[in-house]
C-alpha cells in the first residue's frame, strides 16, 4: 500500500469523472477523509459550484451502542440538492454503512437527480449491497487490518493493525 | 417475681453510684437492695450482668406513639415495644394526637393503653390550651391530677403573648411545668431547612436562627414575669442556648433538652435532598451543633431526648419539602448518647444522667434511679459490643432514620419495667 | 441520596439534573454538540434520526407551555415519539404520588423523562428511583435547578462573546426564588467567568449568596458597571404579597432595565432574559426590542441545546474517536 501514489490516483479519478461534468454536478465529500479527497478533486476539475461536506454522525446506525461523537461537525451543503446530479466522495469504501448514512442524509436535504459514488480506495468487507461507481484502487486486507487516509496537507495512505 | 442481677457495673447518677455490685428486686417489683442480698431473699430469676452496665431505665422526654389518630404510622403497642428493646422504660408523649390530650379522660386513656401492654410507661404532657388552639386555657389542674407531667402547646406555640402569660401564670399556681417549643410561627413558616449555605444551594425555603431566638427571648421574659417553671424542648441554635445559660445564671427556673440527632448532625448531612434529614427544628450549622454539644457538656442542657416520630415509608418518599419531618429515634437514643462519651464530650455518668435522673427530675416522677424502694425500671446494656444500624431491622414501625449504616458501640441486653423482664436481646 | 446520580458507571452523563457537579469539559462538549444541531434547524428537513423509535415523556407537574414546547420540538427533531403530561401536583396523601406516576409511565416503556416540578429535589428523587436504562432531564425543580436553561444561556453568551475568561456578567432580579439564576451561576463559575454579579434588594437574595460564587449588589448602576452580559430575571407579581418588595413602581424604578441603566454597561453588552418578560416591570420595551437584546436567539438556541443534551444522554458510551467500521 505504500506503493499507492495518492496524487496519481487522484488524477486518474479526475480523468474518469471529467465526462460527468457536462451534467453540471455538485460534489459532496464525507468528513473527514472524503472531504479531503473531494477538495482535491474539486480543485483538479475546477468545478463551478462550491463543494459540500457531510458529517454523518446523526445518521449512523450505531448511536444506541456507542453514542454521539463530541467532535461532530456541521454538515454544509451550500447548494440546493433538488434535481442536481451529485458526485459523492469518500476515502475508503468498506462495510458500506457510511454511504448508507450519507445517502439518507442527502435525501433529507432534497431529491437529487442522481448520485455517483467515487472512492479513493475500495476494500473488501462489504456488509450492505452498496458499490462504488468510480474507484481509485481496489485492495484486499487481512481481517485485523484497517486502511486510513492521513492529511489534510499531504494525503497519504496507511495500513494499521487493529487490536485483537 | 423476685429477681437478682449479678456482677453488673451499677451506674446510678441519682444516687452518685458507680460500682460493681449485685442488685435485688422484690416481688412487688421494687428495688430491695444493692450490694448484699436482703435477709431471706430468694431470687426466682437471676440475670448475669458480667461485663454489662446496669442503670435506670431510660426516660425519653419527647416521643410520639401516634395513637390516637395516626395508627397507620405506629401504635402504642409497637412503639412501647421498640422503646423497651432500646432500654427506654418511660415515654413522655406530647398532646398533639387526634383527639388532642386536653381532657383528663384522654390523659387517662393513653396511660391505661400503655399499662395494658405492660411494656414502657407513658406519661403524657397535657395541652396548654383547648385543642392546642392557643386561645383558651385548658383544664391544667385536672390534667395534672389525671397524670399529665406538664403542659405544652406542642408544635403550635401560642401566638398571643397575653394568652401565653396567662397560661404560664395559671400553670405556676399549681406548680405545673410548662414545656415550650421555641419557634416564631411567622419566621418559621414555610421553611424546611436551616436558612443558610445548604438551603441556599439546594433552593429550599429556610428557617432562620431568629425563628428560635425571637421565641426564646419572648418566652424567657414571660417566665421571669410569671415565675413559672419552664422546660425548653429540642433547641437547635447555639444562640438560643446562650440565652438559656444566661437566664439560668440569673436564677430562672428553666431547663432544656436537645435531640440526639441534633448533637451529631448538621445541615451538611442533608446532602442531595436526603429527606431522612428533614426534621423540625431543622439541622443547623456545624457551629450550632457544636454549641449544643458544649451546652450539654456544661449542663445548660441537661437532657437528651429522641423526639421520636415514626413514619410510614411514603412519608419520606417525596420531594424534600413535601416529605414529612421527623426521625424514628427510640432505637438510636442510647447509642448516640454513648457516642458522646466516646467523643470525649461527657463522661458515662453524665450521659446516663441525661437519659435517666435528669428527665425524671423534670417530669417529677420517681423513676430514672436505682434507689432502694423505687420501682425497678432498669436498663442493662453491653457497652463494648459493636453493631451497625440496618433501618429495615428496626423494631419501631417507623424505619425513617438518617443513621442507616452507622456503626455504634453499646447495645441493650435486658430491660425491666416494674421489676418485670420485658425485653431480653436474642444475641 | 448520594452525590452524582448524573453519571453512569462508565463516567458518561446519564441524567441531566443540575449544573453542579459537571466538569468544564462536559459543559463544553454539550455546547460544541449544540453547535452542530443549530444547522439542522436551519435546513428544510429539520429532523435527524438519532432518537427514532424512542419515547420521550414530558412530565410537567408545574405548568409551562413555553418550556414544554421547546422540549417537544427538540425531541421531535431527533425523531422521537413525544407524550405530554400535566398531572396536577397533589400531596402524598391524596392522589398519585410522584413516584407512582413515574412507575406507571415507566412500565409503558418510556426511554426519557423530562420533568418539571414545583419543589426542589424532585428530579433527584425521581432519578434515584428509575431503572438503569431510563434517563431523566430536569426541566426545573422548585428553586433549585434549571440546567438546560443555564446551558442555552451560556451557549448564547459564547455565541456573542466567544471567550468566558474575561467576562463580567450581572444577573438582576429575584435570585432568591430563581432556579435559572442558581444554575447559571454554577455554569459561569465552572466556565471560569471571573466576575459574576447578582443585583437585587436584600429581600430577594438568598442567605450566604456569596458562597455560591457571586458578588451581590443592591445598587443597579454599580452592579451593571462595565458588564458584558446583563441577565434579567422575571419578577413574579406575587412577591408583593410576601412583603418582599413594596410595589411594581418602585421595583421598576430601582431594578428595571432601561436604556439609561444599560448605558453604564459596556457598549457591546448583550441583554438576556429567560422569558416570559414582564415589560415595564423588570425590563423596558425599548431595551427588550432594542439591538442589544438577544432574547429571541436564546429561544432558537434553546432547541439546539436541548437536542444536544438529549442526544448525549441517550447515546451509549461516547466514542472519543470514531469506532465501528466505516
Task: Look at residue B275 and tell me whether its pLDDT is greater than 90.
Answer: yes
pLDDT score recorded for residue C100 = 87
Phi and psi at residue B45, to the nearest 5°: -140, 135
Task: Give contacts of C142 with chain B, Cβ < 8 Å.
Answer: 203-204, 319, 321
C-alpha cell at B1: 417475681
The alpha-carbon gap from C111 to the nearest alpha carbon of chain A, in Å, equals: 12
pLDDT score recorded for residue C88 = 67
Q: Tens digit of pLDDT for each residue in B406-418?
A: 999 999 999 999 9
Q: Do B203 and C182 touch (CB under 8 A)?
A: yes
Kindly indicate the confidence band of residue C323, based on its pLDDT and cuts at 50, 70 and 90: very low
Q: Tens digit of pLDDT for each residue in B9-37?
A: 999 999 999 999 999 999 999 999 999 99
Kindly indicate the confidence band of residue C97, based on its pLDDT and cuts at 50, 70 and 90: confident
Query: Regarding the domain delimited by A6-161, which CATH topology (the fold level of the hierarchy) does it fall under?
Result: Rossmann fold (3.40.50)
**For residues C181-200, average pLDDT:** 97
Task: Give contacts of C317 with chain A, Cβ < 8 Å.
Answer: 66-67
Kindly indicate the confidence band of residue C317, based on its pLDDT and cuts at 50, 70 and 90: very low
Query: Poorest-confidence range of B92-106, B269-283, C304-318?
Result: C304-318
Q: How many CB pairs under 8 A join A and C?
A: 80
Q: Is C105 on the interface with B (CB under 8 A)?
A: no
Q: What is the mean pLDDT of chain B?
A: 96
Q: Is C132 on the interface with A (CB under 8 A)?
A: no
Give residue for cell 492521513. A150
* Distance separating alpha carbons of residues C79 and B207, to the nearest angstrom: 47
Count other C-beta atoms under 10 Å from residue B57's C-beta. 30
Measured in Å, how far apart are chain A's first and last C-alpha atoms?
22
Q: Tens digit of pLDDT for each residue in B186-233?
A: 999 889 999 999 999 999 999 999 999 999 999 999 999 999 999 999
Q: Nearest CB to C315: which of A67, A71, A75?
A: A67
pLDDT score recorded for residue A163 = 67
Q: Tens digit of pLDDT for each residue in C127-178?
A: 999 988 899 999 999 999 999 999 999 999 999 999 999 999 999 999 999 9
CA separation, residue B34 to residues A107, B9, B29, C18 (Å): 97, 11, 14, 63
Q: Do A69 and C312 touch (CB under 8 A)?
A: no
Kindly indicate the confidence band of residue B111, based on its pLDDT and cuts at 50, 70 and 90: very high
**For residues A65-80, average pLDDT:** 82
Q: Which residue from B minimizes the CA distance to C208?
A: B197
Catalytic residues of B: 307
Pick the CATH number of C147-296 from 2.60.40.1730, 3.40.50.300, 3.40.50.1370, 3.20.20.140: 3.40.50.1370
The alpha-carbon gap from C7 to the nearest alpha carbon of chain B, in Å, equals: 15
Reduce the DSSP state of residue C102 to 3 states and report it.
helix
Burial of A3 (0-12, 13-18, 19+ CB in 10 A): exposed
Q: Do C322 and A104 touch (CB under 8 A)?
A: no
Q: Tens digit of pLDDT for each residue in A114-127?
A: 999 999 999 999 99
pLDDT score recorded for residue B254 = 98
pLDDT score recorded for residue C319 = 32
Q: Which residue from B minimizes the CA distance to C142?
A: B203
pLDDT score recorded for residue A2 = 57
pLDDT score recorded for residue C133 = 86
Q: What is the mean pLDDT of chain A?
A: 90
pLDDT score recorded for residue B71 = 94
Our answer on whether B and C touch (3+ beta-carbon pairs < 8 Å) is yes
Report the sign of the C-alpha dihedral through residues A21, A23, A26, A28, in that order.
negative
Task: Look at residue C60 and tell me whether its pLDDT is greater than 60.
Answer: yes
**For residues C23-41, average pLDDT:** 91
Consecutive H or E run containing B407: strand B407-417
Angle formed at CA C238 by CA C234 and CA C241, multiple of 5 degrees: 140
Range 25-44 of C in CB contact (< 8 A) with A = 29, 32-33, 35-36, 38-40, 43-44
Task: Look at residue C90 and tell me whether its pLDDT is greater than 60.
Answer: no
Question: DSSP labels for C242-287?
Answer: TTSSS-HHHHHHHH-B-HHHHTTS-TT-EEE--S---BTTTB-HHH
Q: Is B208 on the interface with C (CB under 8 A)?
A: yes
Query: Regarding the domain delimited by C2-145+300-317, which CATH topology (the fold level of the hierarchy) does it fall under?
Result: Rossmann fold (3.40.50)
Q: Do C120 and B203 touch (CB under 8 A)?
A: yes
Task: Look at residue B280 and tell me whether its pLDDT is greater than 60.
Answer: yes
User: B344 CB contacts (<8 Å, ≥6 apart)?
Assistant: none
Sequence ranges of the domains in chain A = 6-161
pLDDT score recorded for residue B75 = 95
Q: Do C143 and B206 touch (CB under 8 A)?
A: no
Going by C-alpha positions, the residue among C106, C89, C267, C245 that lies closest to residue C173 is C245
CA separation, residue C47 to residues B168, C51, C73, C77, C253 (Å): 73, 10, 10, 4, 46
The alpha-carbon gap from A136 to the nearest alpha carbon of chain C, in Å, equals: 17
Kindly indicate the confidence band of residue C318, based on its pLDDT and cuts at 50, 70 and 90: very low
Are the C-beta atoms of residues A56 and A103 closer than 8 Å to each other?
Answer: no
Q: What is the pTM of this model?
A: 0.88
Q: Nearest CB to C3: which of B208, B272, B315?
A: B272
**For residues A14-19, average pLDDT:** 94
Our answer on whether A and B touch (3+ beta-carbon pairs < 8 Å) is no
Q: Is C20 on the interface with B (CB under 8 A)?
A: yes
Sequence ranges of the domains in chain C = 2-145+300-317, 147-296
Are the C-beta atoms of residues B104 and B142 closer than 8 Å to each other?
Answer: yes
Q: Tens digit of pLDDT for each residue in B317-356?
A: 999 999 999 999 999 999 999 999 999 999 999 999 999 9
Q: Do C3 and B320 touch (CB under 8 A)?
A: no
Task: Give contacts of C124 with chain B, Cβ < 8 Å.
Answer: 272-273
* Distance separating alpha carbons of residues C171 and C168, to the nearest angstrom: 10
Task: Look at residue C44 and tell me whether its pLDDT is greater than 80.
Answer: no
Task: Look at residue A129 and tell me whether its pLDDT is greater than 50.
Answer: yes
Task: Give contacts of C322 with chain A, Cβ < 8 Å.
Answer: 69
* Distance separating alpha carbons of residues C168 and C227, to the nearest angstrom: 5
Q: What is the mean pLDDT of chain C?
A: 90
Task: Look at residue C114 and tell me whether its pLDDT is greater than 60.
Answer: yes
Q: Do A66 and C29 touch (CB under 8 A)?
A: no
pLDDT score recorded for residue C322 = 34
* Distance separating alpha carbons of residues C149 and C212, to the nearest angstrom: 18
Q: Is C120 on the interface with B (CB under 8 A)?
A: yes
Phi and psi at residue C93, to the nearest 5°: -80, -30
The alpha-carbon gap from C294 to the nearest alpha carbon of chain B, in Å, equals: 28
Are the C-beta atoms of residues A75 and A105 closer than 8 Å to each other?
Answer: yes
pLDDT score recorded for residue C94 = 53
Task: Give contacts of B195 with chain C, Cβ < 8 Å.
Answer: 207
Q: Which residue from C minimizes the CA distance to B200?
A: C206
Are the C-beta atoms of residues C57 and C286 closer than 8 Å to each other?
Answer: no
Task: Look at residue B1 and tell me whether its pLDDT is greater than 90.
Answer: no
**For residues B139-168, average pLDDT:** 96
User: C130 CB contacts (<8 Å, ≥6 apart)?
Assistant: C102, C106, C113, C136
Task: Look at residue C246 and tell me whether its pLDDT is greater than 80.
Answer: yes
Task: Look at residue A12 and tell me whether its pLDDT is greater than 50.
Answer: yes
Task: Give contacts of B196 with chain C, Cβ < 8 Å.
Answer: 207-208
Q: Tens digit of pLDDT for each residue in C267-294?
A: 999 999 998 999 999 999 999 999 999 9
pLDDT score recorded for residue A90 = 96
Going by C-alpha positions, the residue among A127, A82, A90 that lies closest to residue A106 is A82
Q: Do B203 and C117 touch (CB under 8 A)?
A: no
Task: Give contacts of A68 with chain C, Cβ < 8 Å.
Answer: 33, 50, 311-312, 315, 318
pLDDT score recorded for residue B282 = 98
ipTM entry: 0.86
* Distance separating alpha carbons of residues B258 and B3, to the nearest angstrom: 35
pLDDT score recorded for residue C325 = 41
Q: Do C32 and A63 touch (CB under 8 A)?
A: no
Amino acid at each position: 500500500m505504500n506503493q499507492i501514489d495518492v496524487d496519481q490516483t487522484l488524477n486518474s479519478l479526475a480523468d474518469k469523472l471529467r465526462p460527468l461534468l457536462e451534467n453540471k454536478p455538485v460534489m459532496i465529500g464525507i468528513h473527514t477523509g472524503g472531504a479531503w479527497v473531494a477538495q482535491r478533486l474539486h480543485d483538479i476539475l475546477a468545478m463551478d459550484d462550491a463543494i459540500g461536506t457531510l458529517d454523518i454522525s446523526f445518521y449512523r446506525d450505531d448511536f444506541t451502542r456507542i453514542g454521539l461523537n463530541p467532535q461532530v461537525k456541521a454538515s454544509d451543503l451550500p447548494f440546493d440538492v433538488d434535481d442536481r446530479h451529485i458526485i459523492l466522495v469518500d476515502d475508503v469504501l468498506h462495510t458500506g454503512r457510511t454511504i448508507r448514512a450519507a445517502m439518507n442524509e442527502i435525501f433529507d436535504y432534497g431529491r437529487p437527480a442522481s448520485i455517483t459514488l467515487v472512492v479513493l480506495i475500495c476494500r473488501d468487507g462489504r456488509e450492505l449491497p452498496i458499490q462504488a461507481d468510480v474507484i481509485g484502487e481496489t485492495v484486499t486486507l487481512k481481517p485485523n487490518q484497517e486502511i486510513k487516509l492521513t492529511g489534510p496537507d499531504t494525503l497519504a495512505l496507511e495500513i494499521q493493525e487493529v487490536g485483537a | 417475681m423476685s429477681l437478682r442481677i449479678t456482677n453488673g457495673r451499677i451506674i446510678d447518677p441519682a444516687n452518685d453510684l458507680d460500682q460493681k455490685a449485685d442488685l435485688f428486686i422484690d416481688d412487688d417489683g421494687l428495688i430491695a437492695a444493692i450490694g448484699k442480698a436482703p435477709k431471706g431473699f430468694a431470687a426466682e430469676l437471676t440475670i448475669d450482668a458480667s461485663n454489662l452496665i446496669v442503670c435506670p431505665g431510660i426516660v425519653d422526654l419527647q416521643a410520639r406513639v401516634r395513637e390516637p389518630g395516626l395508627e397507620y404510622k405506629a401504635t402504642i403497642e409497637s412503639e412501647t415495644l421498640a422503646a423497651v428493646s432500646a432500654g427506654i422504660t418511660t415515654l413522655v408523649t406530647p398532646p398533639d394526637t387526634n383527639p388532642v390530650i386536653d381532657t383528663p379522660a384522654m390523659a387517662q386513656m393513653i396511660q391505661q393503653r400503655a399499662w395494658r401492654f405492660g411494656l414502657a410507661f407513658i406519661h403524657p404532657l397535657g395541652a396548654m390550651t383547648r385543642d392546642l388552639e392557643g386561645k383558651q386555657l385548658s383544664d391544667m389542674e385536672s390534667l395534672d391530677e389525671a397524670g399529665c407531667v406538664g403542659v405544652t402547646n406542642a408544635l403550635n406555640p401560642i401566638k398571643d403573648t397575653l394568652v401565653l402569660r396567662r397560661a404560664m401564670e395559671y400553670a405556676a399556681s399549681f406548680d405545673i411545668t410548662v414545656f415550650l417549643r421555641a419557634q416564631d410561627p411567622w419566621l418559621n413558616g414555610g421553611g424546611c431547612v436551616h436558612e443558610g449555605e445548604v438551603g441556599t444551594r439546594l433552593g429550599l425555603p429556610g428557617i432562620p436562627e431568629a425563628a428560635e431566638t425571637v421565641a426564646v427571648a419572648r418566652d424567657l421574659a414571660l417566665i421571669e414575669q410569671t415565675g413559672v417553671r419552664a422546660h425548653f424542648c429540642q433547641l437547635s441554635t447555639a444562640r438560643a442556648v446562650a440565652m438559656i445559660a444566661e437566664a439560668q445564671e440569673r436564677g430562672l427556673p428553666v431547663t432544656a433538652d436537645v435531640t440526639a440527632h441534633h448533637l451529631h448532625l448538621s445541615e451538611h448531612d442533608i446532602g442531595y435532598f436526603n429527606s431522612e434529614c428533614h426534621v423540625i427544628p431543622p439541622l443547623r450549622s456545624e457551629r450550632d451543633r457544636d454549641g449544643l454539644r458544649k451546652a450539654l457538656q456544661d449542663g445548660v442542657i441537661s437532657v437528651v431526648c429522641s423526639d421520636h416520630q415514626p413514619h410510614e415509608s411514603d412519608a419520606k418518599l417525596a420531594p424534600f419539602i413535601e416529605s414529612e419531618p421527623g426521625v424514628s429515634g427510640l432505637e438510636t437514643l442510647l447509642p448516640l448518647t454513648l457516642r458522646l462519651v466516646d467523643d470525649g464530650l461527657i463522661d458515662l455518668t453524665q450521659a446516663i444522667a441525661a437519659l435517666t435522673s435528669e428527665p425524671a427530675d423534670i417530669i417529677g416522677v420517681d423513676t430514672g434511679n436505682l434507689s432502694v424502694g423505687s420501682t425497678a425500671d432498669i436498663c442493662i446494656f453491653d457497652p463494648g459490643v459493636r453493631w451497625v444500624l440496618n433501618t429495615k431491622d428496626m423494631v419501631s414501625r417507623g424505619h425513617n432514620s438518617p443513621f442507616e449504616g452507622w456503626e455504634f458501640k453499646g447495645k441493650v441486653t435486658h430491660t425491666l419495667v416494674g421489676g418485670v423482664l420485658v425485653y431480653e436481646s436474642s444475641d | 441520596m448520594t452525590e452524582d446520580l448524573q453519571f453512569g458507571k462508565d463516567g458518561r452523563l446519564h441524567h441531566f439534573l443540575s449544573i453542579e457537579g459537571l466538569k468544564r469539559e462536559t459543559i463544553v462538549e454539550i455546547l460544541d454538540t449544540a453547535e452542530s444541531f443549530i444547522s439542522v434547524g436551519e435546513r428544510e428537513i429539520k429532523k435527524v434520526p438519532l432518537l427514532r423509535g424512542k419515547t420521550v415523556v414530558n412530565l410537567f407537574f408545574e405548568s409551562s407551555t413555553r418550556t414544554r414546547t421547546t422540549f417537544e420540538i427538540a425531541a421531535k427533531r431527533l425523531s422521537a415519539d413525544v407524550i405530554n403530561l400535566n398531572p396536577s401536583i397533589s400531596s402524598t396523601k391524596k392522589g398519585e404520588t410522584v413516584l407512582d406516576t413515574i412507575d406507571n409511565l415507566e412500565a409503558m416503556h418510556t426511554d426519557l423523562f423530562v420533568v418539571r416540578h414545583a419543589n426542589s429535589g424532585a428530579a433527584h428523587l425521581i432519578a434515584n428511583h428509575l431503572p438503569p436504562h431510563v434517563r431523566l432531564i430536569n426541566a426545573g425543580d422548585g428553586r433549585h435547578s434549571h440546567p438546560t436553561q443555564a446551558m442555552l444561556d451560556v451557549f448564547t453568551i459564547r455565541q456573542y462573546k466567544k471567550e468566558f475568561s474575561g467576562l463580567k456578567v450581572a444577573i438582576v432580579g429575584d435570585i432568591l426564588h430563581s432556579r435559572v439564576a442558581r444554575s447559571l451561576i454554577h455554569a459561569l463559575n465552572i466556565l471560569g467567568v471571573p466576575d459574576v454579579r447578582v443585583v437585587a434588594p436584600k429581600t430577594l437574595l438568598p442567605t450566604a449568596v456569596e458562597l455560591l460564587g457571586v458578588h451581590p449588589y443592591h445598587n443597579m448602576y454599580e452592579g451593571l458597571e462595565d458588564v458584558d452580559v446583563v441577565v434579567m430575571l422575571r419578577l413574579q407579581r406575587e412577591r408583593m404579597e410576601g412583603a418582599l418588595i413594596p410595589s411594581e413602581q418602585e421595583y421598576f424604578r430601582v431594578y428595571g432595565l432601561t436604556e439609561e441603566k444599560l448605558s453604564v454597561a459596556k457598549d457591546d453588552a448583550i441583554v438576556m432574559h429567560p422569558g416570559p418578560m414582564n415589560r415595564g416591570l423588570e425590563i423596558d420595551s425599548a431595551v427588550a426590542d432594542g439591538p442589544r437584546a438577544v432574547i429571541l436567539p436564546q429561544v432558537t438556541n434553546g432547541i439546539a441545546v436541548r437536542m444536544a443534551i438529549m442526544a448525549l444522554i441517550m447515546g451509549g458510551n461516547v466514542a472519543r474517536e470514531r469506532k465501528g467500521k466505516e
